[in-house]
Amino acid sequence: MRKQDIKQKTNTKKNTVITNHSTIPDELQVNINELKDSYDSFLYVSKPFSSTNINNLQAKAKMYGLTPAPIKGARVLELGASCGGNLIPQALYYPEATFTGIDLSGVQVQHGNEIIQSIGLTNVTLLEKDILDIDESFGTFDYIIVHGIWSWVPDIVKDKILSICNVNLSDNGIAYVSYNTYPGWKRLEQLRDIMLYSEKRAMDQNLLERTLYTKNVLKMVADTMNSDERSRTQSDYKINNIQRVLNSNDYYVAHEYLEAFNDPVYVSEFIERAQKQGCAYIGDEALQRSFISWLADDVANNIRTLSNSNYIDKEQFYDYVYDTQFRMSLLTKQSNESKINHDETVTVNILNSLYYVSTSSNKEGVPSDWTDTVHIAIKELMDTAKQFTVQDIIDHINSKYPGYNIDNNHLYRRLLVLIITGNLNICGEAYPILPFVENESYIPEPFVNYMKTLIEDGGNQYTAFGNMYNQIDERIDNGVLFVAKLLTKPTTRDTLLQIMDENGLTVERTTKDGYTYQVPTEQYLKEVLIHLEYLGYFRK
């Protein structure tokens, strides 16, 4: 696919959404049509989300006591897949799983399929399809992903999504549904109200123009608040929220704040609706919203008292206390209800079965003083940015701190806190991370095609680059791509350096104080090889 083959397309006429549901009121159908048009005409950059990575979903389901499907042979469905940015990296890394994405926007589906074809992937398919048209004949899936859709569609579609998470889920399947929640979103709702109120003065303009207009209105409101001491004191939180909106991408603001639908709910309401559609609520993908044992004793005890041993009340009171505004709920079939662990007990066998990797962030839960040997050992493995297991921790302690008496309970408790607080990512299955070895290592063609399609062919205007954990990697550039192209066959460092010099590959960097310098070729090559290693690209 050439660069000119991937280009922005705009609508010249209204699209019509065709469904098989004659019960939809005409006014609601008009809103759905407008929703389709907005995504066709103002593309939402399709990004990977680490929370939806099936390896992560498998691990989180295990933490809740379930036995999700292995990745090999898994069937994955994403509702509202856009251009496929959330599925394409996963299909690339897990070629033995199959991925299907559907979206109402034919324009976005077309762009995504062009990207998929350019990469050469055969295990991922994007379809232009209405969620309301999915029935039992569409098949069953081991993982269903619904990210950034549920709150932004009418109630009939909300309930259909939850029905799909039952009817189209395999017996041990896991569904992921994200949505805006109260009470936290009540603060942001004020901003949406301001934007919708002011938008009426720009209704003759397109969505982008209305977005820019209403963002300017928000800016003036914030400036006015800042100019008055009483208002500034009372509404400091609102000023900060406005600033976050102003700093956000226009396409995000348009679809988050100006669409016809944005309906936050309390988590207890979401669980009730899911149960009515035949789903069982597992917990939140962000474990700290469902596991409260990591909190200070007085906080955790108060929430337990308020919830009176009811897991739904526990999650709801957590949201009241921490003003939660977004959730990522995990669901399964009601037949699995009795298997779900809602009492926060995680067995040693489960922790032994997982693979751990640092989140590259220093969040709450990591002590400021690393005086505890177990803590230090875990942190040392986290700093390698590679996957490790419980046995790796034990082996590391025995090797570096010989004679240290390991308290296994202490080790497991520490791991559990790091997982719950988000300092450790967990995977259900290992992914090979191989270093570059001269005359042995090579990069499979699809990985190179992935980089080339996004960097050289313009695919990055529709999707963002994702790594093996479905995290966005913004460091992929033409230099990395140049080196990767040379590694489709085994070679040596000297050969790589020679070709880089012959082609005049130079890299300049600028320090914070404005000094510009050229990076030595040897240093740059070393950095790129390490980067490609941590991307999991090398094979032998």
- The b-or-e profile of 79-91 (16+ CB within 10 A means b, else e) is bbbbbbbbbbbbb
Write out the residue range of the structural domain in which residue 449 sits.
Answer: 445-534
What's the pLDDT at 208?
83
Query: Does one domain contain both 210 and 310?
Result: no
Query: Does one domain contain both 79 and 15?
Result: no
What's the pLDDT at 360?
64
Query: Does one domain contain both 164 and 74?
Result: yes
Q: Identify the domain boundary among 229, 257, 285.
A: 257
CB 265, CB 244: distance < 8 Å: no
Query: Does one domain contain both 292 and 322?
Result: yes
160 assigned to some structural domain: yes
Where are the strands (E) in 140-287, listed by range? 141-146, 169-180, 279-284
Query: Does one domain contain both 164 and 301?
Result: yes
347 assigned to some structural domain: no
Return averaged pLDDT per consecutive 10 residues of the chain, 540 residues in all: 38 34 56 52 78 98 98 98 97 98 93 96 97 96 96 94 98 97 92 88 84 89 87 82 88 78 94 98 97 93 95 97 97 97 94 92 54 89 92 97 94 94 94 94 98 95 94 94 97 97 90 91 96 96
344 assigned to some structural domain: no
How many structural domains is the chain composed of? 5
Start-to-end CA span in the chain (Å): 28
Query: Does one domain contain both 310 and 176?
Result: yes
Please give the Cα distance from 376 to 205 (Å, whole number): 58
What's the pLDDT at 14?
30
Query: Does one domain contain both 117 and 161?
Result: yes
The token pair at 135 is 């029935």
Please give the Cα distance from 206 to 227 (Å, whole number): 32
438 assigned to some structural domain: no
Q: Identify the domain boundary among 371, 397, 427.
A: 427
539 assigned to some structural domain: no
CB 134, CB 103: distance < 8 Å: no
| CA 527 to each of CA 361, 456, 506, 522: distance values in angstroms, whole numbers, following the listed order | 21, 21, 14, 9
Please give the Cα distance from 164 to 129 (Å, whole number): 14
271 assigned to some structural domain: yes
Q: Identify the domain boundary among 374, 398, 427.
A: 427
Query: Does one domain contain both 14 and 102?
Result: no
User: Which CATH number is 77's domain given?
Assistant: 3.40.50.150
Query: Does one domain contain both 34 and 171?
Result: no
- Could you give the 3-state DSSP secondary structure of residue 251? helix
346 assigned to some structural domain: no
What's the pLDDT at 249?
85
Query: Does one domain contain both 333 and 416?
Result: no
What's the pLDDT at 44?
66
β-strands 75-79, 98-103 pairing: parallel
224 assigned to some structural domain: yes
Query: Does one domain contain both 278 and 236?
Result: no
Listed in sequence order, the residues at least 6 apart from 322 whose beta carbon sits closer than 8 Å to its beta carbon are: none
What's the pLDDT at 259?
80
Q: Measured in whole angstroms, how far is the alpha carbon of residue 139 from the centre of its chain?
A: 25
Query: Does one domain contain both 166 and 297?
Result: yes
- Could you give the 3-state DSSP secondary structure of residue 256? helix
Amino acid, single-letter form, for residue 140:
T
What's the pLDDT at 203?
83
| CA 266 to each of CA 128, 327, 377, 430: distance values in angstroms, whole numbers, following the listed order | 31, 10, 40, 36
What's the pLDDT at 7?
38
| CA 130 to each of CA 17, 102, 105, 292, 451: distance values in angstroms, whole numbers, following the listed order | 8, 8, 9, 38, 31
- Could you give the 3-state DSSP secondary structure of residue 33? helix
